[in-house]
Amino acid sequence: MKFTKMHGAGNDYVYVNCFEERVDNPEQVAIKVSNRNFGIGSDGLILIMPSDKADVRMRMFNSDGSESEMCGNGIRCVAKYAYDHGIVSKKEITAETGAGILTLQLVPGADGKIEKVRVNMGVPRLKRAEIPMAGEPADGQIVSQPLNILHTTFNITCVSMGNPHCVIFVDDVESFQVEKYGPLIENHELFPRRTNVEFVQIISRTEVRQRTWERGAGETLACGTGASAVCVAGALNCLTEKKILNHLSGGDLELEWADDGFLYMTGPATEVFSGEIDLAKL
Ligand SMILES: N[C@H](CCC[C@H](N)C(=O)O)C(=O)O
């Protein structure tokens, strides 16, 4: 299988160009290639595929083999790959995802090479049933609601960007025990399809610092859908403006929850290397 390793703000995936390659059993392939000791090493597997509705289609699998509806860092890399490898020749691209069809703009740097990608991430979904979360009322919003975990009460705000996110504001995110609380919230019975969890420290009304516990992958260096959910959660809690700079562990993302209701995310996309792997030997 030919592959390309890419990352967006340190959130790294193995990308396969399915205009040329066929991947049978992507769940198992994701588990194998993601392994950082016995495989290629990544947070998961992303398939770049033909679409009958858009320029490209993305399918995304976490390192545990589970499929997610959406991946914010991944979709930027898909757009850059599609442009750099001649799948598309325009700088505005449409992409089919589990969260609908998204529009992306490629932003060149001073040297003319694609440096950043701006993504219309769609309209954030806030209703309990849309997250999805158990309980009533199904159309209620979860903004700063108490959740007890191991004798600690967290105030959670939940947002779906096509995939589920649970945002928690903390005083000191560097010392926060992400590995202790992340999996307990990810797998809490409130979330029937599990959830991604963002722990966030407010720096100012326009700047935050985020660490992410990803559903199906553990702590990662960045999460684009998570950073988008944080922008929404900050505004809903009146902690931040609707336009923020988010410092993730592997880089920065710019987010804006615009007046048109759409969430715009801008960030880097980087190709690292390409190779070929014999899956039968893994
Ligand atoms: N890192 C991704 C999110 C992956 C989400 C995945 N862990 C899930 O199961 O929803 C991002 O940049 O948006």
What pLDDT digit, counting tens, does each position of 180-239 carry? 999 999 999 999 999 999 999 999 999 999 999 999 999 999 999 999 999 999 999 999
Residues 8 and 99 in one domain: yes
Q: How far is the CA of 161 from the centre of ligand 1 (A)?
A: 10
- How many domains is the chain built from? 2
User: Which residue type sits at 247?
Assistant: H
Give the global pTM.
0.97
One domain, residues 136 and 246: yes
Whether residue 238 is found in the same domain as residue 253: yes
Assess whether 179 and 234 both reside in one domain. Answer: yes
| Domain containing residue 22 | 2-119+268-281
Residue 282 clears pLDDT 90, i.e. is over it: no
Whether residue 95 sits in one domain with residue 152: no
* Segment 140-174, tens digit of pLDDT: 999 999 999 999 999 999 999 999 999 999 999 99
- Rounded CA gap, 92 and 13, in Å? 23
Residues 250, 141 share a domain: yes
Structure letter (DSSP) for residue 179: H
Q: Which residues are catalytic?
A: 71, 223
CATH number of the domain within which 236 lies: 3.10.310.10
Question: Do residues 66 and 161 both lie within one domain?
Answer: no
> 115 phi and psi, to 5 degrees?
-110, -40
Q: Which atom of ligand 1 is nearest the CA belonging to 74?
A: 12
133 and 257 both lie in a single domain: yes
Which ligand 1 atom is the nearest neighbour of the CA of 214? 7
Strands 152-160 and 92-97: unpaired
ipTM of the complex: 0.97
55 lines ligand 1 (CB under 6 A): no
Same-domain check for residues 136 and 245: yes
